[in-house]
Structure 1
Amino acid sequence: MDVRGAGVVVTGAGHGIGRAIAARMAAEGARVVVNDLDADAAASVAAEIGGTAVPGDAASEAGVSALVEAARDRLGAIDVYFANAGVDVGRGLDTPAEDWATAIEVNVMAHVRAAQRLVPVWLEAGAGRMVVTASAAGLLTMLGGAPYSVSKHAAVAFAEWLSATYGHRGITVQAICPQGVDTRMLGNAGPLRDLLSHDTVLQPEDVAEAVWQGLQDDRFLILPHPEVQAYYEFRAGHTDQWLAGMRKLQQRLDHTHQTHQKEQS
């Protein structure tokens, strides 16, 4: 894929994976709109890569409409949309309804709302690309993080539906599903950090490189951590064994949490 001159939007691009993707797209010659709730971060990244900052909410109805309209004004057309913004809120069954709503809003409905505004135009043009940043949690699960796991599964499912429905009409849809990446989210993961870091902790630039390679062959699943493929296949073919293993991991997490509480008391 040649992105030289292409109009690209990256949401959640003020930090982490989004920032790295925006920088890589700009380096490859794309015209990039940098979106983030953090207006200062968006402006800083845009200045660094020669892009255009369009700060704001990339999830709500009004926010998505404003972002798409502003991006079209600046780019003329949106050729590639990286739905990268995401949140990790709540934990288990005691997660309040407000956190569940936030997870669904940002990790799922942001993608739906963007697609509603982008796909009709792409169908007329006969081409367009949407790349969703999901997570390995969307293919496997995230112990300790019910809203994150559920919403990322939904993100992958929506991307699959888009691909199945519109892939034959020129629209390419892809899902990025990394494990541990050295971002603020990993830094705030607490006891889960060791679990997420079990294989390899990648830098955001490593993920951006995997994304660039994924753009070249249009593969649906972009897996910066290759081992996720084997986990995903084992989960599908040996579901009960997979769940038994996950329960053992959960027991280890429970023990770690109990030990930590005793040390603090």
Structure 2
Amino acid sequence: MLVLAILDAERISFAPTPRFSIQDVNISAEQGERIAIIGPNGSGKSTMLRLITRLLQPKTGTVMLDGHDIRTLRGNEIARILAMLPQMQAGQHDLTVRDLVRYGRHPHQRWFSGMSPEDHEIVAWAIQSTRMTHLADQQLQSLSGGERQRAWIAMSLAQLPKVLLLDEPTTFLDISHQFEILELITQLNKEMNMTIVSVLHDINQAAQYSDRLIVMKEGRMVTQGTPTEVLTHEMFEEVFEIRVRIHHDDPYPYVRLMQCLRCDKPSCL
């Protein structure tokens, strides 16, 4: 049986400067799939998310979203299918958690219609699902980094999207909050069959919390596949210029740094 991708970016190219370009990248995701994009700094991972969401206009290529060319969809139509959590959230620190989450209902509302009883129910559900009920009336500025990240995920969840894009969702969080956020995203994936596409810096987290990895370097896709297929000694030497020890004791591989090939020391990474 033919399975149609919920998200299909084909032959995406983008050249913002003479020194950097995205070169003919293809990314496809099925409903309910968890994908992590990994690669060195400056390889184009975050840029690809922005190109997928139409925040940036590709030079060439097509993005299909739930069977529709994204260029033919209005902003609110895109937001009903896809939500993106950027690496840095803009302002809004004077809002309460509840007020922020209400923004997630805007794509589903008619002009000047206001919040319906259904909207209020969905907002309450999104807050509860992200375990933020006890903080619903707290201002964002009073929350910890992990709590603020959960609030923004709750807002994305209130959109009821089929696809959730996350740009380094654990950046700047301590290890316990990183684990909390990744477990929450996994829960949303399982309970809602939500497609998750994440840019992750930690390769071991990417291996543990993804069904498929996409590896990028210098604006091109080097390889993709399951964590076991992708995380090989050859890939690490070619893409990251490091030698690693790969452990296969768990259902997913675990990587330990052994040597940096650029300077023969691990300290430059």
Q: Same fold (TM over 0.5)?
A: no
> Which one scores higher on RCO, CA 8 angstroms, separation ≥ 6?
2
TM-score (norm 1): 0.34
- More helix as a share of residues: 1
